[in-house]
Amino acid sequence: MTDFETFLDEALPPLGLFPAACRSRNIRRRVLKRMESHGVHDFHAYLVLLRRDPSEREALRSLLTVTISRFFRNRRVFETLSRHVLSGLAAKGKPVRAWSAGCASGEEPFTLRILWEELPGPKPRLSLLATDVDGACLLRAREGLYAESSLREVPRSIVEGYFRKEEGRFRLREGVVRSVEFRTLDLLGNFPPGEFDLVLCRNAAFTYFTAPRRVNVAEGFASALVPGGFLVIGRTEKLPREAAAWFPFAFPRDNILRRAVPEQDPGR
């Protein structure tokens, strides 16, 4: 085991993070750069600093997730959402609430908004909340300006209808940017109030959190979703087995689950 892996095994579980998910060279470079900013040159000394400084622990947490994001990432998932989930919610004619948990730079919630706008016919109001623990990512999201690589899975008609080229990058339509509420939120802390019809949490909690914390988050999503509401997790992620009864699969191929509907009491 390397010094870096030993450091992760000691430093991360108290933060609620799963060490094996954070062993990439990219994350190692980020940690070393952070250490250098403090004049610290070995992992043991940095561990001592973490144990005595709560603010440094929070700074480290923000370095440990790989925020790879783009519009329509895993495009088939969004096709299923559009055809079977969003269209069904729109058909009910009632206002819809959706939450992108771990939204990074905003590509995921903006993709949801675009899909909603592209649905045919009249639609009720869609309220979109997007949260992340990384404030720098949220600043980029609110700017709505993206590199061409973020659009590589976007259909050409969507690019032409929702973006304009600006000095080599792509500016998302202002109305779409303003339609999403961005908020700093730590999934290991409090969940937002209210109930949601759809929650997306892909490649975040169920990749980076320790097993007990994953159960806590799954329980939080169960409370946050209306009965029958949808939960979307990452393509290679699994919910903890303790959550199986709360979330039967709706579309297994795309890892889209549905909040279990409580059985009616036959005596009532």
Q: Could you give the CA distance from residue 212 to residue 177 in angstroms, rounded to a whole number?
A: 35
Q: Strand, helix or coil at 59? A: helix
State residue 93's pLDDT score.
96
Specify the DSSP class assigned to residue 177.
H
User: Under 8 Å CB-to-CB from 252, ≥6 apart: which residues?
Assistant: none
Q: What is the pLDDT of residues 210-236, one digit of tens each?
A: 999 999 999 999 999 999 999 999 999
Helix (H) or strand (E) holding 145: strand 145-146
Q: How far is CA 84 from CA 21, 89, 90, in A?
A: 32, 9, 10
CA separation, residue 261 to residues 193, 247, 258 (Å): 20, 9, 9
pTM of the predicted model over 0.85: yes
pLDDT at 200: 98
Domains of the chain as residue ranges with CATH: 3-63 (no CATH), 75-258 (3.40.50.150)
Instruction: Determine the Cα–Cα distance for residues 182 and 178; give it in Å rounded to an integer.
Output: 9
CA 153/CA 112 separation, integer angstroms: 14
Which pLDDT tens digit goes with each residue over 73-102?
A: 999 999 999 999 999 999 999 999 999 999
What was the pLDDT predicted at 58? 85
Burial class of residue 233 in the structure, from the number of CB atoms within 10 Å of its CB (0-12 exposed, 13-18 middle, 19+ buried):
buried
Residue type, 43: F
Contact partners, residue 135, CB within 8 Å, separation at least 6: 62, 184
In percent, how much of the chain has pLDDT > 70? 97
On the question of pLDDT at 1 being above 90, the answer is: no
Instruction: Give residue-wise pLDDT tens across range 258-267.
Output: 999 876 544 4
Question: 99-151, pLDDT tens digit by residue?
Answer: 999 999 999 999 999 999 999 999 999 999 999 988 889 999 999 999 999 99
With a cut of 60, say whether residue 166 has pLDDT above it. yes
